[in-house]
Amino acid sequence: MTKAAALLLAGGLALSACASDEDDNGSSASGGSDGELKIGVAYDTGGRGDKSFNDSAIAGVEAAVDELGGEIEELSPNDDGSNREELLTQLADAGYNPVIAVGFAYGDIIGDIAAEYPDTEFAIVDTSVEELGADNLTGLVFAEEEGSFLAGVAAASKSVTGHIGFVGGSQSPLIEKFEAGYVAGAQAVKPDIIVDVTYLSPAGDPSGFGDPEGGKVAAQGMYQAGADIVFHAAGGSGEGVFEAAVEAGQRAIGVDSDQYLTASPDQQAVIMTSMLKRVDNAVETFVTDFAEGDLEGGTDILNDLSTEGVGLSDSGGYIDDINDVLEDFRQQIIDGDIEVPTSP
């Protein structure tokens, strides 16, 4: 299996070519000059520093700016996410172009906003845009179920108890893709495996992605019930899952970025792999295509196993002994011999 490179930069990584400063709204702007790129980033719940989804997105933006020059403005939603529309319009009004919305929660509003600002290019992570009819909008979408299938294969192959778990952030069709793939992969290895599933918040409530204590409690319950590996797709709440794994002396699986790389030493001992969702690569490519005039708006860009847009990390060497098994399933998915479900 092609080993996934660990490209996620630390959440606090400074741009090599420009300094950053904090504005009154808690956003950061890095220096640039007229005529350079001005990239606006509207984060998902939790903002920068989640060591997962948001940090992966900004790593891609920063990599593009390191190469191309420019400046970045970052904005985070309030606790209930009610100001997401305001964030996008604020960035567009300030002349940032392109503007990147991180997360499916922007999906209900971004089409209308793109129509209001036809001279601004927008991208949204985790939402298809092909039916919105906006030529200045690009969807960066992922086959999360494919990478999660491999996470399930790894969990079932490594489980001693035949009992594993899944902790999702907010229950939604997107996070259910992670669950569906994970369960299918585990059952492909051990048809009778037990998979506990918990969501930290209901549909429409994003708080489950910023609740480490809730993640810890959910994982503790699974470990106490006999699970020995828990996979989370819960953003910043995954920190609690890792804490629970350390306390229980069991294993966990990270998500989005290679979470082994940003974990404490005691957490590194329990993070057996992470389901990589290469938001960093997708965002960097989008910004580069925009800067070079190669962007084709109004379309989705799919990132899947065949493009290495999803996969598994191998930091720590915990899954090296099952690489042949993982590669076999990976190739079957790419070849179409296995169709991975997208819903439970």
DSSP assignment string, 102-149: ESGGGHHHHHHHHHH-TTS-EEEET---TTT--TTEEEEEE-HHHHHH
Average of pLDDT values for 98-126? 96
* pLDDT: which is higher, 96 or 27: 96
Asked if the domains 20-142+279-307 and 144-277+314-335 are classified in one and the same CATH topology, the answer is: yes
Helix (H, G, I), strand (E, B) or coil at 157: helix
User: What is the Cα–Cα distance from 277 to 53, expressed in whole angstroms?
Assistant: 8
Contact (CB, 8 A) for 53 and 235: yes
Mean pLDDT of 76-101: 95
Confidence of residue 46 (pLDDT cuts 50, 70, 90): confident
Find out whether 102 and 43 touch, Cβ atoms under 8 Å: yes
**Which residues neighbour 33 within 8 Å (Cβ) at sequence distance 6 or greater?**
none
Task: Give residue 297's pLDDT.
Answer: 86
Residue 20 φ/ψ, nearest 5 degrees: -125, 155
* Nearest alpha-carbon partner for 105 in 45, 47, 180: 45
* pLDDT at residue 338 is higher than 80: yes
Sign of CA dihedral 27, 31, 34, 37: negative
The pLDDT confidence band at residue 35, using thresholds 50, 70 and 90, is low
pLDDT single digits (tens) 224-263: 999 999 999 999 999 999 999 999 999 999 999 999 999 9
Spatial distance between the Cα atoms of 30 and 38, rounded to a whole number of angstroms: 9
For residue 99, give the 3-state DSSP assignment: strand
Q: Which two tokens stand for residue 297?
A: 């708006």
Average pLDDT, the chain: 90
Domain ranges of the chain: 20-142+279-307, 144-277+314-335
Q: Which two tokens stand for residue 311?
A: 């996969």
Query: pLDDT category, 133, cuts 50, 70, 90?
Result: confident
> What is the CATH number that goes with domain 20-142+279-307?
3.40.50.2300
Which residue reads 């797709």 in tokens?
233
State the pLDDT confidence band at 1, using cuts at 50, 70 and 90: very low
Reported as a single tens digit per residue, the pLDDT across 148-165 is: 999 999 999 999 999 999
**Pairing between β-strand 99-102 and β-strand 38-42 as defined by DSSP bridges:** parallel
pLDDT (average), residues 316-334 = 98
pTM given for the model:
0.83
Superfamily per CATH, domain 144-277+314-335: Response regulator (3.40.50.2300)
DSSP state of 97: B
Which of 240, 279, 48, 213 is closest to 232 using CA atoms? 240
pLDDT single digits (tens) 165-185: 999 999 999 999 999 999 999
Q: What is the dihedral of CA 253, 146, 302, 48, to 10 degrees?
A: -10
Q: Is 20 helix (H, G, I), strand (E, B) or coil?
A: strand
Structure tokens at 161: 């108890």
Q: What is the pLDDT of residues 6-22, one digit of tens each?
A: 333 333 333 333 333 33
| Alpha-carbon span 229 to 130, nearest angstrom | 38
Distance CA 299, CA 305 (A): 20
CA-to-CA distance for 155 and 160, rounded, in angstroms?
10
Distance CA 178, CA 166 (A): 9
The per-residue pLDDT for 28 is 34
